[in-house]
Structure 1
Amino acid sequence: MWLLVRQPESGIMNSKQPIGVFDSGVGGLTVVRALMERLPNENIVYFGDTARVPYGVKSRNTIEEFTMQIVEFLLQHQVKSLVIACNTIAAVAYKRVQQMVGNMPVLSVIEAGAQEALKVTRNNHIGVIATNTTVNSNAYARAVHAHNPDTRVLSQATPLLVSLVEEGWLDHEVTRLTVREYLKPILADDVDTLILGCTHFPHLKPLIKQEVPHLELVDSSITTAEATAQALAAASLLNTSEQTPDYRFYVSDIPLRFQTIGERFLGRSLEQIEMMRLG
């Protein structure tokens, strides 16, 4: 059953309202971290659906329904823009979110990553590493080809890397060998640019760079933060207040390791965490 989502009325948004960021779990905190660094004046409300993660094994209809519930929750917090910090949600429900919120700026890790990859590639051969669902959706290839249909995109599913990152094995030999194995088909295709198509993967940048120093790495958390800054500026919604920003974090469950993993992803202490069950 679809929820009835209120449409934002034109003219009610103001610069001091928060940015709404959401993810299927904890990985989206890498995007929050990038937003904090790029837009230090902005208030942020984050929702991670930790009770129902992973989304990658769920049907399209279920992902869309869960997404609508999250967006409705964030709209209740009077957000001025939405950032989809989950590649799976962005791949499946991006257009649905846009339809739900009307003219509110909606940013997607996939669109931001695709545009940045097109800027830096020299031979128009782009590789993508991501979860199975993101790869199977072909979302990165569609996003790239929408701007340049002549670009070759090779996507590689790398499901083991999510668990390795959450385990904290960022420079472990097991992780190194796993990355090496996953990158073989991409390197055989002569790509010169690699999109890190999962919000967990920015933590592996140093290791990946050691393995393939010749590749340009596109960190979608950084590119999404930059795209958000540009979208807010275009809508005259940048917060110029010098007051200390307010950061609020909501999750649908608090697993035992959430605090440890979350603080590693965010790069600082997690404060104001509240549990909020949806649906």
Structure 2
Amino acid sequence: MDSGVGGLTVVKQALKQLPRETVYFIGDQARLPYGPRPSAQVREFSWQMASFLLKKDIKMLVIACNTATAAALPDLRAKLDIPVIGVISPGSRAALKASPSKRIGVIATEGTIKSNAYRDAIMTKDPDATVFSEACPKFVPLVESNEYRSTVAKRVVAESLKPFKTKNIDTLVLGCTHYPLLRPLIQNVIGEEVTLIDSGAETVNGVSFMLDYLDIANTSATKKYPDEYYTTGSADQFATIAKDWLDLPDFTATHIDLGGE
């Protein structure tokens, strides 16, 4: 589940790494962005999405949204009797593994940065690390409006990443699952020598491990059920981005309502 289409970056990895597992995905496009919202509201919306997915008899829940992970992961783990996996811990581990200098940048939504979730996760694992965090609130609207390859996107990315010019980082965490769609632009601005960490991709590595560890992986030759995609926004708009990003020409999404503000 995600606030919008960004979670498809996690789905893309799941389809690649776990082709026999069925994916049920919901993007709450009608109420994005989550970044500026109060944590209590993000928790409420996250619970609504989780409740919808639970009706599908899911065996594991992946919060494919950094803002929702920061705000709602402990709450959902306490309420549910299935494994609940977030994107922040896997992204933090991967960043430390990739960074020789331990000078790590984090870009994310306002909500994720304000929560200090990445900084705390990285510093807990390695107190010697130095973390530079920057909110990039304009990135999500670029992706959701399908403008992530535009000249406007290039300008916005260049402007947003200026604070890192003097930080001498060697690793940058893409701390929002929307951001990998902007990866070529981010890499171009930040420099080829900086390693980009896709927190969503790292999360699927954890999902794969947990499925095996808990012995709940699908061991049959094929998927048991077809994948299903839902959005609280425009199904057509969602499908336009999904077809391109997932390279699925026959992709379809279904509109649902979860509630108002």
TM-score, normalised via structure 2 length: 0.91
Deviation track 1:73-130 (CA, whole Å, cap 9, x = no partner) reads 211211111110111101111111111113x222111111111101111111110111
1:137 matched to 2:115? The reply is yes
1:28 matched to which residue of 2? Answer: 7
2:237 matched to which residue of 1? Answer: 257
1:149 matched to which residue of 2? Answer: 127
Deviation track 1:153-181 (CA, whole Å, cap 9, x = no partner) reads 11111122223334444444433333223
Tell me which amino acid in the other structure corresponds to 2:60.
Answer: S
Task: Report the 3-state secondary structure (helix = DSSP H, G, I; strand = E; otherwise coil) of the residue aligned with 1:257.
Answer: helix
Note the residue ranges of structure 2 that are not aligned, 5 or more in a row: none
Native 8 Å contact 1:85 1:109 kept in 2: yes
The CA distance in 1 between the partners of 2:92 and 2:121, in whole Å, is 6
What's the RMSD between the two structures over aligned residues?
Answer: 1.9
Tell me which amino acid in the other structure corresponds to 1:133.
Answer: G
Higher helix residue share: 2
1:9 matched to which residue of 2? Answer: none
Hey, which bits of structure 1, 4+ residues long, moved more than 6 A?
none
How far does residue 199 in structure 1 lie from its aligned partner after superposition?
Answer: 1.3
Residues 133-142 or 172-181, more deviating: 172-181
1:203 matched to 2:184? The reply is no
1:72 matched to which residue of 2? Answer: 51
The CA distance in 2 between the partners of 1:139 and 1:233, in whole Å, is 27
Q: Matches of residues 29-108 of structure 1 in structure 2 within 5 Å?
A: 29-102=8-81, 104-108=82-86
How far does residue 251 in structure 1 lie from its aligned partner after superposition?
Answer: 1.9
Note the residue ranges of structure 1 that are not aligned, 5 or more in a row: 1-21
Specify whether residues 177 and 90 from structure 1 end up closer, same or farther in structure 2 by C-alpha distance, changes over 3 A only.
same
Task: Report the 3-state secondary structure (helix = DSSP H, G, I; strand = E; otherwise coil) of the residue aligned with 1:28.
Answer: helix
Residues 217-226 or 56-65, more deviating: 56-65
Native 8 Å contact 2:108 2:176 kept in 1: yes
2:154 matched to which residue of 1? Answer: 176
The CA distance in 1 between the partners of 2:200 and 2:130, in whole Å, is 23
Fraction of identical pairs, as percent: 39
The CA distance in 2 between the partners of 1:62 and 1:209, in whole Å, is 33
The CA distance in 2 between the partners of 1:144 and 1:270, in whole Å, is 40
Residues 63-72 or 173-182, more deviating: 173-182
TM-score, normalised via structure 1 length: 0.85
2:253 matched to which residue of 1? Answer: 273
